[in-house]
A and B are shown apart, each in its own frame.
Chain A
Amino acid sequence: MIVPLISLILLCPLAAFAFFGLMSLARRSVPRQDYLSTAAMLFALVCSLLLLQQVVPHPEPHTVEWISIGKISFSMGFYLDSVTAIMLIVVTLVSSLVHIFSMGYMHGDPRYPRFFAFLSLFSFSMLFLVVSDNLLGIYIGWELVGLCSYLLIGFWFEKDSAANACKKAFLTTRVGDIGMFIGMMMLFTKFSTLALYGEDGIFALAANLSTGDMVWLSIAGVLIFCGAVGKSAQVPLHTWLPDAMEGPTPVSALIHAATMVAAGVYLTARMFPILTETSSLIIAYIGGITALVAATIAIVRVDIKRVLAYSTVSQLGYMMLGIGVGSYVAGLFHLTTHAFFKALLFLGSGSVIHAFHAMHAHSHDEHDAHGHAHADSDANEHTHEDGDSELVHAHGSDIPPDQDMRNMGGLRHKMPITFATMLIATLSISGVPFLFSGFWSKDAILGGVLERAMEWSSVHHYVLFGMALFAAGITAFYMFRLIFMTFFGEPRNQEMHDMAHESPKVMTVPLIVLAVLSFPVVNVLWFNDAYVTPPKQPHIHAPAHAGVFNDTKGTFSLFGVSEAVAAEEEGAHDTHADEGHHGHSPAHTIAMVLSIIVAGLGILLSWLFYHRRTLSAESVATTFRPLYHLFWRKYYFDEFYNGVLVALTVWKARLFAQFDGTVVDGIVNGIGRVTRDILAAFTGFFDNRVVDGLVNRVAQVTWAMGGRIRRIQTGAIQTYLLIVLAGIVVLILVFRAL
């Protein structure tokens, strides 16, 4: 059943894309394409749900040969374990909901059918990535989702900012992909395969490597992780993701929050068995730094989508951190909970933007689509219509007015469903205890970090825990800032507020479904030991001095501790951390208490700043001016990339182009000219002395051409042929002599 089901899951979106793509090339429009695409996606969702039951503990990959070169062959195939099954559901579910939401949000866009075709292609690529059993297949899916991201970010390509953003996204992620590619080559050179599973797969073979190979394996692991750094927008390759918000908001929800950007985490988790202590620590640090850096940037953003984008970057950092400290389940668990609540937040923000868009649709009658308020590159028009020029342009930013939180406020009465569902997601991401899924997954990661720190007595991990905890507090702060600024208080822009309205059902129903999923419903799967078994990490060993806290294990529990403890007692030492999500160690208790405290503090401060206004954000910003600037300027990453890297490349390119025209081509032309002049002189001399009359004329013509390289005439070829012939005669004589 597995193979046909997976094939069906892949075929549904692929067929939708291929069919509608060809139709549009043939200039045929298909009635109700949106319904058909959505139906295909829902069907894939049903198949994914059926697959949930089919997971077996030690699955074998199902493969077919793709290419064979000499003795090497590459296969394409499926691998279905519990993580694959859960990912399939996440992708198909979020994709289906985004399809439905888009029917409302994108309604009336002139390229509406194309939007759905791209969504289908994306869904196929993402699913292909998820089910692939080998690195090559993952890489193919990986590049294809990157392409879809490019196409969808640039969906409103008339807008220069969108055109720039999509190019930036593609190129930045490609930098990481090259690292990943070289990492794959290293693995292939060692193991002669790119298959991951089975007894001849990379994991089985890598388990036998000796300690002498650890440096090599660490490098390969980090290189593959480079791909994840690009795709999952980790520091320092994170700058494309906030810009990617130029795409339509449903795209941000599906690709740039729930699925594609999580693919990096998924890949890193897949690579779990070959991670070494060094590569794990690098991954953990990148994750930790990303979590903190992005969270601090999010504090000062005023564009509602940018806040969410940096929040996504930060949360992805959490997941990486989890995997880097060996909390496999925690990292993936957070991936799933985040997929739902972040998709909800984005769709919610889309609902808000949509509410404001209606006004644009009114005021721009000639524009048949709200998408076009975006597409309009003429900023003056906005200024004129919206009357918010001072607010928006005072900061010298080009934030679309309908995404600027400084134009919002008090929307909770106008948009009750959007408000309620977004609030649930915010409570979840902020880590409000017990009732919300985000609390459990974030706590599993924090607990995992602290547990490793305590078990290994590792300073590194204590530092990482501190960073993660701090970032958790900031997360609660900026998320509630978003809620307060958008939904509470008085409307700041009365004209826009008056036009705002709750979105139609086709948009609110997906919000409600996602809100339900933000309660701890998915925990059932992740907290089931029999269902999800973390892979072993044969190359990670606890340091010799570790183990102080081992005897206290199992003192705290919330879910099914008894089996966990039993399994643990016979299990190897290095698997302890993998099961960290059960919260059965003092580390988890401490982490839980601390995270509740920082979340509470964050929410409290946010309330004081943005609701009660007993504290003034402006005065704090003035006091800590340099810090505020650092956050506002996003740590100057973009300035560095544009001012140094891009400028250098373009400068080098111009230099080379000039070199090519003057030096390389100059030499060629020079040789040509010299040869011709000598030749002309020679033939001229020869003709004058030996041949008379008619032949003389030829030589004169040849002479006359000297020095005019741009206007060579065919005569030169004849003289050239002559010397070729003479040369050949000479050479034949030489060879005879040899």
Chain B
Amino acid sequence: MLLSIVIFLPLLGVVAIALLRGIGASAVKGIAMAVALLTFLISLGLYTGFDATTAEMQFQESHAWISGLGTRYDIGIDGISLWLVLLTTFLTPVCILAAWNSVEKGLSGFMMSLLALETGMLGVFCATDLFLFFVFWESMLIPMYFLIGIWGGERRIYATVKFVLYTMAGSALMLVGILYLYFQNDNSFALLPLYEKAGTFTHANLLFLAFFIAFAIKVPLFPFHTWLPDAHVEAPTVGSVILAGVLLKMGTYGIVRFCLPLFPDAAATYTPLIVTLAVIGIIYGALVAMVQPDLKKLVAYSSVSHLGFVVLGLFTRHHAGIQGGVLQMINHGLSTGALFLLVGMIYERRHSRMIVDFGGVAKSMPIFATIFMITTLSSIGLPGLNGFVGEFMILLGSFHGGAFSKVYVVLAATGVILAAVYMLWMFQRVMFGTPNKINAALPDLNTRELVVLFPVLLFIVWIGVYPKPFLSRMEKSVNVVVTKVQQETAPAMGHTKIKEVPRYARVDINKEAETK
């Protein structure tokens, strides 16, 4: 019941705002904030009640839904979705507070979209029925469509149509895959029984591709990424935050929830191709980001680069890589979310996102500059902050796991240098130097903005210093995925067999046996 409450409480907020038409703007904001905060608080119950010792789905609920179709309302979370659910419930109130004064027209519509979006996103992460998953997946597009299309920038229509069409092109393929699986699953959409049949599907390669392309567009993986910069640039600040923070994670979540455990052989077959695309994305995204004149576009392309890392980690098919990948999803949500928030804050002051318009901002806005610095450092993977842990584990899994050539790892590692290049260069151009008259007069962050940023910073530091609580809860669930991928692929892979027990295996190895 708890999980359903978390999912649908925001929707209740939408209904409330819709019914209480004619109330003032502050009341609308108050209701939205209260609902989002309450959702977050309740979702903390998922954290405290979560049993880290099992890989089973938890907080499961199952109700008859459309029995004629063979679909049920089946929900549940494991150690992977738990974090994405929490990330969503955490970012939504942050976003509402961030948008407090920036929405001029249609405030109630804006807040309704935001809350409806939250329900859609939470549903995607919790659904354990393929049809239900698809319904949430598609329904989430509608509020996002409004958010960009109504409250966006100049070219918002182009951007939002591109975003929606591109995603739907992918979803169409996925729907085909879902239907085909349905027929191989005794006319049922239930996900958990499918896991038992993993590796036995006919046309598994095609099925894998149908799912993977849908997710690759969402991630977005090179070369499916061009909708992202447009969507980010045109979206309002909060739209960008949600887009980068949560929506992109649905692609990578889909990979780890469906592609890897359901079609392990196909995943192994396509690993070289996908890893190549991921590494291209890492370097390409970084290089393109380097020369962007627009701050938002720069951050958008940096997302392409960072999510290349996540995909690389997932396809290591190794404990370290996949855990790192999942952790990096959260990290990217926090740090890129914070970057978009910061860009939004300075846009509200300066009404420009062009890097050339800035310079010397660190002098007029020292606190802003400090927080921007911390976020930048988190984004470029400085130890002590969250990004490092994820990148370290991904590279470790890539190198150690042996699922693909070490050349990829070396190339990906150069992406780490490039990330520092474009972020620090941007930071220098915006923050350093002597400010001109306009920039010298910019007021520093106010208390509301500090309250928006502080919780995000807290997690950025927490994960960086002590990631254990995060990793330990996802460990069992990731193990299941790894066991599946490795078991199914070991005979087929032959030469690229995963080196599970290296030569000096007695060293630093946990005594507990791996879950079979």
Instruction: Write the residues of chain A forming the contact surface with B, with a CB cutoff of 8 angstroms.
Output: 24-25, 27, 65-75, 136, 139-140, 143-144, 147, 150, 154, 157-158, 160, 162-164, 167, 170-171, 174-175, 178, 181-182, 185-186, 188-193, 195, 200, 205, 377, 649-650, 652-654, 656-657, 660, 664-665, 668, 672, 709-714, 716-717, 720-721, 724, 727-728, 731-732, 735
Output the least CB separation between B85 and chain A (Å). Answer: 22
B320 and A664 within 8 A (CB): no
Output the least CB separation between A427 and chain B (Å). Answer: 40
Given A27-B367, A188-B400, the answer on whether A72 and B508 have CB atoms closer than 8 Å is: yes
Partner of B383, one of A140, A190, A735: A140
Name the A residues within 8 Å of B290 (CB-CB). Answer: 649-650, 653
A735 and B432 within 8 A (CB): no
Q: Give Cα A188–Cα B409 distance, bound, in whole angstroms.
A: 14
Name the A residues within 8 Å of B288 (CB-CB). Answer: 653, 656-657, 660
Residue of A nearest to B482 (CB): A70
B287 and A649 within 8 A (CB): yes
B158 and A653 within 8 A (CB): no
Q: Give Cα A140–Cα B162 distance, bound, in whole angstroms.
A: 42
Shortest 5 CB-CB contacts between residues of A and residues of B: A70-B319, A163-B432, A140-B383, A665-B226, A157-B432
Interface string of B306-328 (1 = CB under 8 A from A): 00000000000001100110000
Name the A residues within 8 Å of B165 (CB-CB). Answer: 672, 716-717, 720
Output the least CB separation between B194 and chain A (Å). Answer: 16
Interface string of B428-464 (1 = CB under 8 A from A): 1001111000000000000000100000000000000
Q: Is B365 an interface residue (CB 8 A)?
A: no
Sample of 12 more A-B contacts, CB < 8 Å, known A158-B363, A185-B399, A712-B161: A68-B472, A69-B323, A72-B320, A75-B508, A160-B432, A163-B432, A167-B428, A178-B414, A192-B505, A192-B507, A200-B507, A649-B421
Q: Give Cα A150–Cα B432 distance, bound, in whole angstroms.
A: 13
Partner of A68, one of B180, B183, B510: B510
B399 and A189 within 8 A (CB): yes
Name the A residues within 8 Å of B320 (CB-CB). Answer: 69-70, 72
Partner of A185, one of B164, B176, B396, B509: B396
Interface string of B417-433 (1 = CB under 8 A from A): 10011001100100111
A157 and B431 within 8 A (CB): yes
B400 and A185 within 8 A (CB): yes
Name the B residues within 8 Å of A144 (CB-CB). Answer: 382-384
Name the B residues within 8 Å of A163 (CB-CB). Answer: 428, 432-433
Name the B residues within 8 Å of A70 (CB-CB). Answer: 319-320, 323, 475, 479, 482, 510, 514
Q: Is B343 an interface residue (CB 8 A)?
A: no
Q: Is B410 an interface residue (CB 8 A)?
A: yes
B432 and A668 within 8 A (CB): no
B432 and A712 within 8 A (CB): no
Interface string of B501-516 (1 = CB under 8 A from A): 0111111111000100
Q: Is B349 an interface residue (CB 8 A)?
A: no
Q: Is B157 an interface residue (CB 8 A)?
A: yes
Name the A residues within 8 Å of B504 (CB-CB). Answer: 190-193, 200, 205
B502 and A190 within 8 A (CB): yes
Q: Is B41 an interface residue (CB 8 A)?
A: no
Q: Give Cα A190–Cα B428 distance, bound, in whole angstroms.
A: 40
Interface string of B142-163 (1 = CB under 8 A from A): 0000000000000101100110
B158 and A709 within 8 A (CB): yes
Offer 27 A-B interface pairs, CB within 8 angstroms, sorted by A. Answer: A25-B367, A25-B450, A65-B468, A68-B468, A70-B482, A72-B319, A140-B384, A144-B383, A158-B432, A162-B432, A167-B425, A185-B395, A188-B396, A191-B504, A200-B508, A652-B287, A653-B288, A654-B291, A668-B162, A672-B162, A709-B158, A711-B158, A714-B161, A717-B161, A721-B168, A728-B175, A731-B176
Q: Is B37 an interface residue (CB 8 A)?
A: no
Name the B residues within 8 Å of A192 (CB-CB). Answer: 502-505, 507-509
Q: Give Cα A136–Cα B395 distance, bound, in whole angstroms.
A: 13
Residue of A nearest to B320 (CB): A69
B383 and A174 within 8 A (CB): no
Given A69-B471, A72-B509, the answer on whether A668 and B166 have CB atoms closer than 8 Å is: yes
Output the least CB separation between A188 and chain B (Å). Answer: 6
Q: Classify the interface of chain A: helix, strand, loop or mixed.
A: helix
B292 and A171 within 8 A (CB): no
Q: Which of B379-397 contact A (CB under 8 A)?
A: 382-384, 388-389, 392-393, 395-397
A182 and B508 within 8 A (CB): no
Name the B residues within 8 Å of A154 (CB-CB). Answer: 432
Given A25-B370, A185-B395, A652-B287, the answer on whether A66 and B468 have CB atoms closer than 8 Å is: yes
B157 and A713 within 8 A (CB): yes
Residue of B nearest to A195 (CB): B508
Name the A residues within 8 Å of B389 (CB-CB). Answer: 67
B409 and A182 within 8 A (CB): yes
Residue of B nearest to A70 (CB): B319
Q: Which of B155-209 contact A (CB under 8 A)?
A: 155, 157-158, 161-162, 164-166, 168, 172, 175-176, 179-180, 183
Q: Classify the interface of chain B: helix, strand, loop or mixed.
A: helix
B164 and A717 within 8 A (CB): yes
Q: Is B36 an interface residue (CB 8 A)?
A: no
Q: Give Cα A709–Cα B159 distance, bound, in whole angstroms.
A: 11
Name the B residues within 8 Å of A150 (CB-CB). Answer: 424
Name the B residues within 8 Å of A664 (CB-CB). Answer: 223, 225-226
Q: Give Cα A407–Cα B332 distance, bound, in whole angstroms.
A: 52
- Residue among A24, A69, A665, A717 facing the most chain B CB atoms (10 A cut-off): A69
- Residue among A67, A139, A190, A712 facing the most chain B CB atoms (10 A cut-off): A67
Q: Give Cα A139–Cα B392 distance, bound, in whole angstroms.
A: 11
Q: Give Cα A65–Cα B392 distance, bound, in whole angstroms.
A: 16
Given A140-B384, A728-B172, A728-B175, the answer on whether A171 and B417 have CB atoms closer than 8 Å is: yes
Q: Give Cα A139–Cα B388 distance, bound, in whole angstroms.
A: 11
Output the least CB separation between A236 and chain B (Å). Answer: 16
Q: Is B70 an interface residue (CB 8 A)?
A: no
Name the A residues within 8 Å of B431 (CB-CB). Answer: 157
Q: Is B360 an interface residue (CB 8 A)?
A: yes
Output the least CB separation between B402 and chain A (Å). Answer: 8
Q: Give Cα A656–Cα B422 distance, bound, in whole angstroms.
A: 14
Partner of B319, one of A71, A143, A660, A720: A71
Q: Is B413 an interface residue (CB 8 A)?
A: yes
Q: Is B404 an interface residue (CB 8 A)?
A: no
Output the least CB separation between A79 and chain B (Å). Answer: 16
Output the least CB separation between B223 and chain A (Å). Answer: 5
Residue of A nearest to B506 (CB): A200
Q: Is B75 an interface residue (CB 8 A)?
A: no
Name the A residues within 8 Å of B417 (CB-CB). Answer: 171, 174-175, 178
Q: Give Cα A182–Cα B284 distance, bound, in whole angstroms.
A: 21
Q: Is B377 an interface residue (CB 8 A)?
A: yes
Q: Give Cα A367–Cα B83 distance, bound, in whole angstroms.
A: 52
Name the B residues within 8 Å of A171 (CB-CB). Answer: 417, 420-421, 424
Partner of A735, one of B180, B291, B395, B425: B180
Q: Give Cα A668–Cα B228 distance, bound, in whole angstroms.
A: 12
A71 and B155 within 8 A (CB): no
Q: Is B416 an interface residue (CB 8 A)?
A: yes
Name the A residues within 8 Å of B176 (CB-CB). Answer: 727-728, 731
Name the A residues within 8 Å of B383 (CB-CB). Answer: 139-140, 143-144
Output the least CB separation between B442 and chain A (Å). Answer: 15
Output the least CB separation between A330 and chain B (Å). Answer: 31
Output the least CB separation between B432 and chain A (Å). Answer: 4
Q: Give Cα A734–Cα B164 distance, bound, in whole angstroms.
A: 27
Name the A residues within 8 Å of B503 (CB-CB). Answer: 190-192
Q: Give Cα A524–Cα B264 distance, bound, in whole angstroms.
A: 64
Q: Give Cα A174–Cα B503 distance, bound, in whole angstroms.
A: 31
Name the A residues within 8 Å of B510 (CB-CB). Answer: 68, 70-71, 73
Q: Is B227 an interface residue (CB 8 A)?
A: yes
Name the A residues within 8 Å of B509 (CB-CB). Answer: 71-73, 192
Residue of A nearest to B175 (CB): A728
Interface string of B459-496 (1 = CB under 8 A from A): 00000001110011001000100100000000000000
Name the B residues within 8 Å of A72 (CB-CB). Answer: 319-320, 396, 400, 508-509
